[in-house]
Amino acid sequence: MLSSSVVVLTLADPALFLLPIAAVVLVVLFVGILTVKQYKRCPSNRVLVVYGRVGTDKAAKCLHGGGTFVMPLVQDYAYLSLEPMVIEIPLQGALSQNNIRVNVPSTFTVAISTEPVLMNNAAERLLTLTDEKIVEQAQDIILGQLRLVIATLTIEEINKDREKFMRLINENVEQEINKLGLELINVNIRDITDESGYIEAIGKRAAAEAINRAKVEVAEQDREGAVGEAMAVRDRTVRVAAEQATAVEGQKNAEQRQRIAVSTLEAQAVTGEAEARRNQEIVMAQRKAETVAAQKLAEQEQRIKVASAEAAANVGENESRAKIAESNAKLAEIAAESKRRSEVAAAQAARAILEAQREQELARLSKETLAGQEIEKKRIEIAASAEAEKQRLEATGNAAAVLARYEAEAEGVRKVLEAKADGYRKLMEACAANPQVAPTLLLIEKLPELVHEQVKAISNLKIDKITVWDSGRPSSQAEGKGTTANFLSSMISSLPQVHELAEQAGIELPSVLGRVKPSDAPKPPQ
């Protein structure tokens, strides 16, 4: 029996423990349901106002968005709408600062603010009011503030400075409606009129001023347009002229380079031609000199043979002729050298003249074209420079050719004279037995040339008759001499005086005039 009772007690123990657990579960379920029911969420277009016991010094707790637990029995809740409210303000006869009544019909858009302080103001003053009541309160406040703002402004300020007018309205109206928990969203002034027509007159005056300003601006714009067009035309003309000048300059530069290249090639060609002609003339002169030397050598041999046959009869005459030939050779050499120098000097002078003419032409062209266009000046200068350079090169080539020709001629003359000197030396050697024969032969050689020159000197004279005038005296009366013989005698007798005069003047007379033998007589004492 004892064991059976123990078993019964063990089976009854779980039931005793389940009752408190069930009670706890029920309490928890009740609290959860109550909590879910009393947890209030706030939509985005509303403000949740929890009032009752919400804390010390607070009449309500306002939430925008989110949610909160509303304690039953001690708290309750309500919603404030955030939807905008449009308030019509038909303001009539508001007195301005200059005592003119104006009509300012306008529309204000307001709504409950979401600022914490303003939400509390709205909860305290607007929680139980309908939208119509809220609009009426806000309308009265806006009318009073609008009249106050208009009273501080003149008609001109209201009409002209709309920004200041709107700023004052926003500041005054928003400050007052914030006390209700409202905020100003928008202000729309539909029109501003007055009973006296002052604003209309101001508008007409402003319109007239605007029209006048517009006319002035149009005239100024027309003027600016005309000036701009003229400037554009001027710029276009200047640019076109500049581009044309650049094109002409480029063309002239190309032409200049072409002319310079052509002139250079022509100068090279002229120089080459002149050098070729000079070489040709030198060779021809050398060949001619050799031919003349050979011819003279043959003639010399022939004359030596002839002279050998006639040497005996012409000793004295040949001596005088040798002296004359020597003098003529020296004179010919001096004449050739003088002619060469004169022609070289003439060529150099011609070149200097050409260079001076070139400089003069350049100076003249520079002076004449300074007042002209710069491009034409450059073209003329370049053309003149190229032409002067061409002339200078031609003159240089011609001078070089002339110089070479005369140098060749001088060389030929020198060789001829050397050949003559050699022939004279051989002639003197051939006539060693009788030296007087050689001058006679040389004089006979030059006699045709002398006769030819004498004949050429009088060839242009028309002589009808030749009369020899003598003194008429017989030869016996003049010691057997005629007038001509007397003239020769007197001329020969005057030779000592001529030699003395030449010696005093420091002049050396030709050897053909003889020499004065110094006197052996003692000089008289001084």
Residues 201-214 pLDDT 10s: 877 877 888 888 88
Say how many CA atoms lie within 13 Å of 293 toward its Cβ.
17
Q: Residue 476: what pLDDT?
A: 46
User: What pLDDT shows up at residue 337?
Assistant: 82
Query: What's the pLDDT score for residue 9?
Result: 42
Nearest partner of 39 among 74, 66, 73, judged by Cα:
66
Same domain flag for 31 and 113: no
27/43 same-domain check:
yes
Query: Is residue 409 domain-resident?
Result: yes
Same domain, 20 and 90: no
Supply the pLDDT for residue 10: 47
Residue 262 lies in a domain: no
Q: Domain range spanning residue 89?
A: 83-196
Predicted pLDDT at 84: 92
pTM score over 0.75: no
- Are residues 276 and 376 located together in one domain of the fold? yes
Within a domain: 235: no
Task: Please say which residue of 427, 455, 483 terminates a domain.
Answer: 455
The Cα–Cα gap between 287 and 297 comes to 15
How distant is the alpha carbon of residue 215 from its chain centre?
A: 46
Whether residue 102 sits in one domain with residue 171: yes
Indicate whether 304 and 449 sit together in one domain: yes
68 with 107, same domain: the answer is no
Q: How much is the pLDDT for 190?
A: 85
Residue 499's pLDDT is 73
Q: Is 271 helix (H, G, I), strand (E, B) or coil?
A: helix
Within-domain flag for 28 = yes
Cα separation, 248 vs 252, whole angstroms: 6
170 and 272 housed in the same domain: no
The string over 42-60, giving b where at least 16 C-beta atoms fall within 10 Å of a residue's C-beta and e elsewhere, is beeebbbbbbeebeeeeeb
Task: State the total domains in the chain.
Answer: 3
Specify if 289 maps to a domain. yes
Q: HEC profile for 111-178?
A: EECCCHHHHHHHHHHCCCCCHHHHHHHHHHHHHHHHHHHHHCCCHHHHHHCHHHHHHHHHHHHHHHHH
Residue pLDDT, tens place only, 327-360:
777 878 887 887 888 788 888 878 888 888 887 7
Q: Is 96 inside any structural domain? A: yes
Where b means 16+ CB within 10 Å and e means fewer, 307-316 reads bbeebeebbe
Which residue carries 């530069």 as its tokens? 253
Token pair 């955030």 in the structure block, residue? 82
Closest CA to 176 of 140, 136, 150: 140
pLDDT average per 10 residues of sequence, the chain (526 residues)? 41 61 74 71 88 80 84 84 90 86 91 89 87 90 90 85 88 90 90 81 80 85 83 84 83 83 79 79 79 78 73 67 77 80 81 81 67 70 83 84 84 83 78 70 72 72 61 51 65 72 67 65 52
**Is the same domain home to 45 and 134?**
no
Residue 57 falls inside a structural domain: yes
Q: Tokens 């060389």: give the residue.
A: 411
69 and 88 inside one domain: no
Indicate if 279 and 316 belong to the same structural domain: yes
Instruction: Please tell me the predicted confidence (pLDDT) of residue 110.
Output: 93
Taking the chain, what is the end-to-end CA distance rounded to the nearest angstrom?
Answer: 219
pLDDT in the model for residue 373:
63
Q: Is residue 494 part of a domain?
A: no
Q: Out of 430, 455, 480, pick the residue that ends a domain.
A: 455
196, 212, 232 - which closes a domain = 196
Q: How far apart are CA 399 and CA 371, in angstroms?
A: 38
Are both 42 and 105 inside the same structural domain?
no
